[in-house]
Amino acid sequence: MTANKKLLILPGDGIGAEVMVEVQRVIGWMAANRSVSFDVDEGLVGGAAYDAHGVSISDSDLDKAMNVDAVLLGAVGGPKWDNVAREHRPEAGLLTLRKEMDLYANLRPAIVFDALAEASSLKTELVQGLDILIVRELTGGVYFGEPRGIEELEDGTRRGVDTQVYTSPEIERVARVAFELARKRGNKLHSVEKANVMETGVLWRSVVGDLHAAEYSDVKLENMYADNCAMQLVRTPKQFDVVVTDNLFGDVLSDCAAMLTGSLGMLPSASLGGADESGRRKAMYEPVHGSAPDISGQGIANPLACILSFAMCLRYSFDMGEDADLVEQAVQNVLGGGLRTGDIMQDGKARVSTSGMGEAVILALDKLT
């Protein structure tokens, strides 16, 4: 492929900047070795943007995000900004990007690499070969519903209100993404909600069921309550392939699934919008881990989740599946060779720094080509 791909890099806060350096090395390697060029721009988000502009993302950087092929984000947040007004806190920048770019489908893989199976808190035989994909609705539900807020009552007490709300089109579009992904994987989809106690759950089950009957009857569909899903994830996780759920349950369940793998430092994610007339989707890719201010600046952060997020970018934004496979295999080979950052360290393995892990991935890519 020869066309330039437009990328916006938003390193963010804490270890975000450190791990993004290693991603940029992989981007450089791709440009030099795989006949693909990237037009890379950078911007600020989160606390870094607040320090520079007084907001969690500037209008100019938001405009950049709206006009590139994909956004690569590091991480946002940290105790430094705990007392900032809610609308300007680092996390608000992330929510703004998701909302303005209409990134309604969040893809969170939970993959156990063979070399790390023993790092899981579950027995090895329960997680060996695990490959789950959770599709979380990202722009609706209780995180965005109105009314919301905290009010003083006449008796001097306070009441907090959040509103869980979904429309049938919001549910249908994320379910469609999940069904399409299921067709390309194991042809099985679990749809997760709380239809037993929530009206939005009743609507969710109805809309997903109607879509299944109309367009995806070849895919095996199973409905499951969210609390049962949480239990099943730690009981027999390999029963799942693709899971689709709402914003709140997806937030919780994807973190639960993530820890089956042994470390948040290994897990990428993709947030996708709808396709336009040309087939192009707005998209943002980021590691699941946070900004980890406690280890920021020490050069010990694990860059693999961010590198694997770039692999997802290659796969979903640029239709470069072969190149994505190459990056993922390089990571697998590095782990198989015994290199570890501190978060995934095991007895008998070699501890390396952030830059050391990035260099190892580059060397593994060289060996694969």
Which of the residues are catalytic?
A: 143, 194, 227, 251, 255
Q: How many CB atoms lie within 10 A of CB 35?
A: 9
> Nearest 5 degrees, angle CA 159-CA 165-CA 170?
155
- Residue 24 three-state SS: helix
CB 331 within 8 A of CB 308: yes
What is the distance in angstroms between the CA of the first residue and the CA of the last residue of the chain? 16
| CA atoms of 268 and 70, how far apart (whole Å) | 15
Burial 285-309 (b: 16+ CB within 10 A, else e): bbbbbbbbbebbeeebbbbbbbbbb
| CA atoms of 278 and 341, how far apart (whole Å) | 41
Q: How far is CA 17 from CA 9, 23, 71, 116, 291, in A?
A: 10, 10, 14, 25, 9
Give me the phi and psi of 112, to 5 degrees please.
Answer: -100, 110
| CA atoms of 216 and 175, how far apart (whole Å) | 10
| Residue whose token pair is 């570890």 | 340
Determine the length of the chain. Answer: 369
